[in-house]
């Protein structure tokens, strides 16, 4: 709609103003579209040469963006790994109503992405897209990061230096696994029968945990003869 | 319209047709031999190939020179067979149809009305080519539309604290494994994908080591948890080798016999405090 | 950062202004947080009672939001399943730099199949194969279903009861379209009446055979498929 190069007269436009406004908007666009926070270093790599800006310019533009968002529903926020735009906390209740009505589903795409990160980590977004044959919605990585099931573990030293993702302890905990090694191997997964067997094994392991917890009190007790199947001979008591 | 001929470069070997070395290719068949496989692979089927043969001569579908096209088409098919390219059955069916059309032209023509009623094979072929071409063009138009993820980027922001009630459900292991199988099966159909041989804990360890190295270089010993015993050392060692092999890690030694330092590759420059979850 | 209820003095805040500004910001927050576009109906369900607003108020607030975003990097956009906020086209170039690995290209087979489903829906797999002249890899339908671009809309009551496929709102959303009518129109068949004339010409080629046949004699074999095996000497037509 409004041309970014048109500058309000009252502002006494210096020649740099238009350019710095472009920088501010490019930053806003990047932060709104990225599935992870962006660090000053990343932003500098992306924009530094092409816009001829240094890290100081970036910081200044981020400050202007922060001010410009003052009247809006989202705000700029700095977290450990960089900057992101987030919805202000005062609207969180409304957002949670939205998710209660339409919870972000565990879509096929999300499950496949998570599974690929489990089995092929450390893996880049591009590698996931290559295996799945379709582009990945930025929401998926974002959602998995927010759920703390995956994390960025580094970058791949190829052009563009894409992030490498790996799984977290949280995911193992949530799945009830002690280690990823408990998961069936690829050949097992390929064969439906073996997969069923492997799942059964895993299921039994998972169910054993509560049993072990319950065990002591039960195990010590003399078995109640009534509780045993009629076929079993009653234990003889001397 | 004589078909001029061009010599085939000998460096890449001479293709054979009917067991005889094919020394010359008609010019409109000429493709650099190394590109031939890719080229033939690029056809979406016999209609696509026919359309290509017609279009490259700037002819209207309505003016198909049946004899010439049939001849060229069959040459392509022969070439594909000689090069042992996988040839879908549809290509042979089309060859048979073209042959039928050709012979029907050689035979006395039935009265025009009959031709339409009996489903003249030429009529049928022209109709199919036209119909296919429409959708081929429509597909190209679809590809030109802006698409989310390629040209359109949806703005996303969320509250910092996500209300507990609105959290994602935890997937079942079964869901996760089936999803993985589907993804791998699909990719196997696209291309051969190398199958991971390492135990998963190596992959997981690779992730952990990368996370650790973001805080700075480390000695191998620092990466080992003695509580994990020998297996732990082996897994860790394999992970380091794998990372070094894929260029995700540098092994540095400042002086002879100095301890070896493991670090992110040299142009890595993000010293981040990090580690949210550990 | 700034309190959203604080209104610029120069605006002479009427009591309603504050409320309508809250509505505008709640809408912005919801649209930014949602994975999917949100329809007026959904927004009304979520906000109608609690904020005491009707669909008309919502439309008005969305229009205000659109205007408020005029100076920013993102814009309000209406697509098939509702409203979403997206990065303006002029900044899309920058955003695509975030992911150095380009999204995988869609194969021609997939695009042709999709085009057939778009323009000929509901359509069966067999009908698609007939028009394209080749068998359809199961992959393609699977990928289209997985992307949620097509869905099964019924079965055709013929032997085998094959599935009929149609397009989804997701496809339109992903292409930034409001309805199927916004798709580029299907190219027309050229000159249907000329078919008959063309056929006539085809027949007349009978007399031209000797001229056409001046290509290498080897190539003018009788195109009997049996004769194509290398073992058989190619019979010539002359």
Q: What is the ipTM of this complex?
A: 0.72
Tell whether C137 and C173 lie within a shared domain. Answer: yes
CB contact under 8 A, A100 and B183: no
The average confidence (pLDDT) of chain A is: 77
CATH number at A67 reads 1.10.10.10
Q: How far is A16 from chain B (nearest CA, A)?
A: 27
Residue B97 with chain C: CB contacts under 8 Å: none
| pLDDT confidence of residue B106 | 72
Most confident of A206-220, B45-59, C12-26: B45-59
Residue in the structure block whose two tokens are 């103003």 = A17
Closest residue by Cα to residue A165 from A185, A144, A188: A144
Q: Which one is predicted more confidently, A43 or A180?
A: A43
**Which residue in A has a C-alpha nearest to residue B152's C-alpha?**
A33
The answer to whether residue A132 scores a pLDDT higher than 70 is yes
Upstream peptide bond of B189 is cis (omega within 30 degrees of 0):
no
Tally of residues, chain A: 238
Strand partners, B251: B262
Most confident of A182-196, B21-35, B103-117, C148-162: C148-162
Q: Hey, which bits of chain B come out as E strands?
A: 5-7, 16-17, 20-21, 24-26, 218-219, 250-252, 261-263
pLDDT digit string (tens) for B102-154?
777 777 655 555 555 555 677 788 888 889 999 999 999 999 999 988 889 99
Q: What is the DSSP letter of A178?
A: S
On whether residue A67 sits in a domain, the answer given is yes
Tell whether A59 and A37 lie within a shared domain. Answer: yes
∠ Cα B53 B86 B94 (to 5°): 45
Tell whether C191 and C112 lie within a shared domain. Answer: yes
Q: Which one is predicted more confidently, A122 or A211?
A: A122
pLDDT digit string (tens) for C66-119?
999 998 999 999 999 999 999 999 999 899 888 777 777 888 999 999 999 999
Integer angstrom CA distances of residue B193 from A180, B37, B184, B243, C109: 21, 21, 8, 19, 22
Q: Where does a domain end: A94, A123, A139?
A: A94
Strand partners, A164: A124, A154
Tell whether C70 and C30 lie within a shared domain. Answer: yes
SS3 B143: helix
| Closest Cβ opposite residue B196 in set A29, A96, A120 | A120
Q: Which one is predicted more confidently, B29 or B42?
A: B42
Residue A177 with chain B: CB contacts under 8 Å: 173
Chains touching chain A at 3 or more Cβ pairs under 8 angstroms? B, C
| pLDDT confidence of residue B8 | 37
CB contact under 8 A, A69 and C35: no
On whether residue C220 sits in a domain, the answer given is no
Binned at pLDDT 50, 70 and 90, residue A3 comes out as: very low
Task: Domain B202-263: give its CATH superfamily.
Answer: Structural maintenance of chromosome 1. Chain E (1.10.10.580)
How many structural domains are present in chain A? 2
What percent of chain B is predicted at pLDDT more than 70?
64
The answer to whether residue A205 scores a pLDDT higher than 70 is no
- Cβ contacts of B123 within 8 Å, gap of 6 or more: B115, B116, C195, C199
Residue C102 with chain B: CB contacts under 8 Å: 150
On whether residue A231 sits in a domain, the answer given is no
| Closest Cβ opposite residue B152 in set C86, C112, C219 | C86
On whether residue A169 sits in a domain, the answer given is yes
pLDDT digit string (tens) for C53-75?
999 999 999 999 999 999 899 99
The answer to whether residue B72 scores a pLDDT higher than 80 is yes
**Which phi and psi (to 5°) does residue C179 adopt?**
-150, 170
**Which residue in A has a C-alpha nearest to residue B157's C-alpha?**
A86
Integer angstrom CA distances of residue B6 from A57, B73, C170: 61, 19, 51
Tell whether C87 and C113 lie within a shared domain. Answer: no
On whether residue A122 sits in a domain, the answer given is yes
Segment 82-121 of chain C within 8 Å of chain A by CB = 85, 87-88, 90-92, 94-95, 97-101, 103-104
Binned at pLDDT 50, 70 and 90, residue C120 comes out as: very high
**Domain that includes residue C164, residue range:** 108-208
On whether residue A217 sits in a domain, the answer given is no
Residue A161 with chain C: CB contacts under 8 Å: 100
| Closest Cβ opposite residue C30 in set A72, A98, A139 | A98
CB contact under 8 A, C195 and B92: no
Closest residue by Cα to residue B26 from B48, B63, B56, B58: B56
The answer to whether residue C212 scores a pLDDT higher than 50 is no
CB contact under 8 A, A108 and B182: yes
The average confidence (pLDDT) of chain C is: 79
The answer to whether residue A174 scores a pLDDT higher than 90 is no
**Which phi and psi (to 5°) does residue B46 adopt?**
-65, -35
| pLDDT confidence of residue C163 | 94
∠ Cα B228 B230 B234 (to 5°): 100
Round to whole Å and give the CA distance between B141 and C187. 10
| pLDDT confidence of residue B162 | 67
Chains touching chain B at 3 or more Cβ pairs under 8 angstroms? A, C
**Which residue in C has a C-alpha nearest to residue A163's C-alpha?**
C99
Closest residue by Cα to residue A93 from B204, C139, C29, B93: C29
Closest residue by Cα to residue B233 from B217, B243, B222: B222
Residue C109 with chain B: CB contacts under 8 Å: 44
Binned at pLDDT 50, 70 and 90, residue C191 comes out as: low
Write out the DSSP string of A117-167.
HHHH-SEEHHHHHHHHTSPPPHHHHHHHHHTTSEEEEEE-SSTT-PEEEEE
Tell whether C71 and C147 lie within a shared domain. Answer: no
Tell whether A115 and A182 lie within a shared domain. Answer: yes
The answer to whether residue A140 scores a pLDDT higher than 90 is no
Report domain extents, chain B.
29-107+121-141, 202-263
Helices and strands (DSSP H and E) totals, chain B: 9, 7
- In this prediction, residues C150-172 reach a mean pLDDT of 93
Round to whole Å and give the CA distance between A30 and A237. 78
Q: Where does a domain end: C69, C94, C119?
A: C94
Tell whether C126 and C157 lie within a shared domain. Answer: yes
| Closest Cβ opposite residue C101 in set A34, A68, A125 | A125
On whether residue A136 sits in a domain, the answer given is yes
Round to whole Å and give the CA distance between B77 and B221. 63
Tell whether C196 and C133 lie within a shared domain. Answer: yes
The answer to whether residue C41 scores a pLDDT higher than 60 is yes
| pLDDT confidence of residue B182 | 81
On whether residue A235 sits in a domain, the answer given is no
pLDDT digit string (tens) for B182-195?
888 766 654 443 44
| pLDDT confidence of residue A103 | 67
Tell whether A66 and A137 lie within a shared domain. Answer: no
């Amino acid at each position: 709609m409004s041309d970014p190069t048109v500058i309000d007269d009252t502002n006494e436009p210096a020649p740099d103003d238009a350019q710095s406004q472009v920088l501010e908007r490019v930053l806003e666009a990047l932060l709104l579209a990225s599935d992870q926070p962006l660090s000053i270093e990343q932003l500098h790599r992306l924009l530094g040469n092409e816009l001829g800006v240094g890290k100081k310019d970036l910081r200044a533009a981020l400050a202007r963006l922060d001010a410009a968002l003052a009247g809006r529903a989202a705000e700029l926020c700095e977290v450990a790994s960089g900057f992101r735009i987030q919805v202000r906390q005062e609207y969180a209740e409304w957002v949670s109503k939205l998710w209660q009505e339409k919870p972000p589903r565990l879509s096929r795409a999300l499950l496949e992405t998570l599974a690929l990160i489990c089995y092929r980590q450390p893996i880049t977004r591009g590698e996931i897209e290559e295996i799945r044959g379709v582009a990945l919605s930025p929401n998926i990585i974002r959602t998995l990061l927010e759920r703390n099931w995956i994390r960025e573990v580094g970058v791949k030293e190829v052009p563009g230096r894409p992030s490498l993702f790996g799984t977290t302890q949280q995911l193992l905990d949530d799945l009830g696994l002690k280690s990823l090694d408990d998961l069936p191997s690829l050949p097992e997964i390929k064969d439906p029968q073996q997969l069923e067997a492997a799942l059964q094994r895993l299921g039994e392991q998972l169910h054993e945990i509560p049993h072990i917890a319950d065990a002591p009190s039960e195990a010590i007790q003399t078995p109640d003869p009534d509780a045993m199947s009629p076929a079993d001979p009653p234990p003889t008591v001397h | 319209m004589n078909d001029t001929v061009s010599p085939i470069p000998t460096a890449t070997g001479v293709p054979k047709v009917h067991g005889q070395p094919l020394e010359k290719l008609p010019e409109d068949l000429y493709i650099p031999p190394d590109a031939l496989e890719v080229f033939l692979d690029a056809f979406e089927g016999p209609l696509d190939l026919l359309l290509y043969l017609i279009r490259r001569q700037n002819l209207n579908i309505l003016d198909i020179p049946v004899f010439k096209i049939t001849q060229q088409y069959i040459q392509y098919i022969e070439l594909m067979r000689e090069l042992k390219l996988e040839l879908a059955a549809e290509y042979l069916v089309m060859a048979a149809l073209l042959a039928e059309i050709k012979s029907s032209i050689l035979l006395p023509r039935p009265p025009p009305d009959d031709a339409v009623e009996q489903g003249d094979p030429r009529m049928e072929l022209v109709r199919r080519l036209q119909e296919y071409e429409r959708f081929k063009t429509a597909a190209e138009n679809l590809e030109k539309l802006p698409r989310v993820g390629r040209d359109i980027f949806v703005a996303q922001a969320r509250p910092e604290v996500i209300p507990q009630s609105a959290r994602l459900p935890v997937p079942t292991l079964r869901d996760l494994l089936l999803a993985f199988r589907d993804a791998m099966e699909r990719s196997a159909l696209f291309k051969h994908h190398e199958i991971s041989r390492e135990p998963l804990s190596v992959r997981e360890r690779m992730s952990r080591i990368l996370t650790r190295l973001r805080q700075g270089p480390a000695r191998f010993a620092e990466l080992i948890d003695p509580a994990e015993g020998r297996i732990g050392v082996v897994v860790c060692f394999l992970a380091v080798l794998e990372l070094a092999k894929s260029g995700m890690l540098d092994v540095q030694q400042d002086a002879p016999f100095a301890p070896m330092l493991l670090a992110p590759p040299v142009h890595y420059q993000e010293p981040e405090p990090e580690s949210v979850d550990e």
